[in-house]
Amino acid sequence: MARNLVFILALTSLCIGLAAADWNILNKKSKNRDASSLKIYCESWRINVELNNIKDFEVVPQECVDHIKHYMTSAQYTADSERAMEEVRLHVSSCCALQGDGKDAWIFDVDDTLLSTIPYYKKHGFGGEKLNATSFEAWMKQSKAPALDHALKFFHEIKAKGVKIFLISSRSETLRSATVENLINAGYHGWSGLTLRGLEDDFMKVQQYKSEARRALTKEGYRIWGIIGDQWSSVEGLPGARRTFKLPNSMYYLS
């Protein structure tokens, strides 16, 4: 009798465990979800991407593509981005004893920080397709990416304070002319430096490459008061800044 009871309890635990596994946020093959539970699952997936709990994914889970599309084109995405910029302004208003010696610096990423790649991803599955680098670079060469208004406004605000602006992008050096043209057309001007990836940087991960670019700035005596980017690889690593700010983007992940 006791042995039967132990067997029943073990079987029950196994079944519960299997059921729980079906709802694991990392399990892309979960089945039998209704519309409500699918929305909850996909929003949980998105939030865990933003929290950097889910890393190195190559594509958005197919069942969540519509959810990511809805978010990235919604008023909520705009509101989340604008709220992030308000936090940046609060930081600047209290944190920084600017020296006014030309060595106060702020760093921005480019794609999905200053310029939006959403027009490209609208035609390429909002992260549901594996990125085709050739296609993406061909789109970049058109220099038509629109500005993200919340970033454009702050860009000029911080520049007006006399802070030197440096752009550090994972774009290829071969895209320099197209990138400069795009930035100017979108309303950006007056930055002090634009760092793009050369052939010697190709062996590095994005985080290492951007850390090295910041190290070069600090060796020149710049004080980095802040960094804004849409990828964790843009804001993590040493040397860091007084504070970093992550903008929302769950369409892709760059490490």
Q: For 18, which DSSP code? A: H
pTM, rounded to two decimals: 0.84
Looking at residue 19, what is its pLDDT? 37
- Residue identified by tokens 């702050």 is 154
- Residue identified by tokens 């002319």 is 177
Residues 255 and 241: their CA atoms lie apart, in Å, by 19
Looking at residue 56, what is its pLDDT? 93
Which residue pairs, CB below 8 angstroms and at least 24 apart, start in 219-223?
221/103, 222/103, 222/104, 222/105, 222/164, 222/166, 223/99, 223/103, 223/104, 223/105
Dump strand ranges (E) for the chain: 104-108, 164-172, 193-197, 223-229, 243-246
Cβ partners under 8 Å of residue 138, min gap 6: none
Cβ partners under 8 Å of residue 52, min gap 6: 232
Q: Can you give the pLDDT of all 255 residues of the chain as single tens digits?
A: 444 433 333 444 434 333 333 334 444 444 445 778 999 999 999 999 999 999 999 999 999 999 999 999 999 999 999 999 999 999 998 877 778 899 999 999 999 999 999 999 999 999 999 999 999 999 999 999 999 999 999 999 999 999 999 999 999 999 999 999 999 999 999 999 999 999 888 889 999 999 999 999 999 999 999 999 999 999 999 999 999 999 999 999 998
Residues 238 and 21: their CA atoms lie apart, in Å, by 37
ω before 61 within 30° of 0 (cis)? no
Half-sphere exposure of 229 (CA within 13 A, CB side): 27
Domains and CATH numbers, the chain: 54-246 (3.40.50.1000)
- Answer whether 237's CB lies under 8 Å from 36's CB: no
Looking at residue 239, what is its pLDDT? 93
CA 49 to chain centre: 9
